[in-house]
Amino acid sequence: MKSSANFSGGGLLIASAWAFMLLVSDLPEIVWGWLGSKAPGWLPWAQVIFIALFLGLCLAWRKLRVLLPFAFVMLVFFLALRLSAGVGASPWWRARFNGPDVSFFTGYLGAFHRDIVVALAVLAALWALKKRRRDFFLVKGNVDAAVGPVRWLGIRAGERWRTFMWIFGLAAGFIVLVATALSVKISPAALAKAVPLLPAALLFAAINAFTEEVYFRASFLSTLTEVLGKNQILLISAVFFGLAHWIYGSPPGLPGFLMTGFLAWFMGKAMLETRGMLAPWLIHFIPDAVIFCFYALLWTGR
């Protein structure tokens, strides 16, 4: 299908999508930090209101109407995030999942309870719009699909995702392992205590990889690829994902942004070319498994 971005008004759609993404991303919070202060508590709700206003603009202005599905999914996503954050901050929830005596499994289970609900809300919104799971990538996909050549990465024609998803996932995991190991001191005693936590760490890595693929990748790619084209949407989703890890990533700051942004670009490429979730999930899961195993190590040293 020919991209709508090739028609008159394509520049407006691209500019609007980029501006919208940057304003609802973590960029405003990052800028507040650069100015030497903490972002105000009203900022997340201001972003929700902005998304609602943008959705109304898409309804009212015919030239932006093709962005309406994306705005709708983002409104559902951000509302679910805000409600999840409210539940997580409640005394009842904190007493059960954030107390000083809470186990590693229980502590992270509390966060992932809420994360799964956010992902389900996004999937429900995509289902309402698309009707078929394969139209928003909630299928395995064709892992025998060809990997689109990328000269600057040395990827040549003829590569298949069935093999390459393992190569790239393991390479990403190794890079994260080295980067994290250099910043975390590991003692034999802590390692011995963390071994029983590894199954839980792998479970949480698997959940995190799936939920983030849903609301960081499938939401963007299924609503904007035909509107903006493959290259633009891969960049937009990569920057959004990278900014989300600028403050809270491992490592944080510019290195985290560049690492996770590049990884997001590649996982988006995998999702589009296989037309499914398995390849990007696997590429995401392997480095996440490394990170959550280190979280288990840090938990034992509390």
pTM over cut 0.75:
yes
**Position 98, amino acid:** N
Q: What's the pLDDT tens digit per position in 78-93?
A: 999 999 999 999 999 9
Report the pLDDT value the prediction gives residue 95, as an integer from 0 to 100: 87
Domain ranges of the chain: 4-300
The alpha helices in 152-229, defined as continuous H runs, are 161-181, 188-194, 198-212, 219-228
Q: Is 61 helix (H, G, I), strand (E, B) or coil?
A: coil
**Mean pLDDT, residues 46-54 taken together:** 98
Tell me if 233 sits within 8 A of 225, measured CB to CB. yes
How far is residue 69 from each of residues 22, 191, 225, measured CA to CA in Å?
18, 47, 12
Mean pLDDT lowest for which of 9-23, 45-59, 126-140?
Answer: 9-23
- Rounded CA separation 190/52 (Å): 48
The C-alpha torsion from 42 through 48 and 52 to 55, rounded to 10°, is: 140
Q: What digits encode the pLDDT tens for the residues 110-157? A: 889 999 999 999 999 999 999 999 999 999 999 999 999 998 888 888
Q: What is the DSSP letter of 26?
A: S
Token pair in block for residue 246:
């600028």
For residue 188, count other CB atoms closer than 10 A to its CB.
7
Q: How far is CA 200 from CA 70, 98, 147, 292, in A?
A: 34, 17, 33, 9
Radius of gyration of the chain (CA): 20
Reduced to 3 states (helix: H, G, I; strand: E, B; else coil), residue 146 is: strand
Model pLDDT, residue 256: 86
CA distance 294 to 288: 10
Could you read off the pLDDT of 233-265 as tens digits, one per residue?
A: 999 999 999 999 998 876 788 988 999 999 999
CA–CA dist 192, 194 (Å, integer): 5
- Angstrom distance (rounded) from CA 20 to CA 40: 20
Which helix (DSSP H) or strand (DSSP E) does residue 15 occupy? helix 10-24
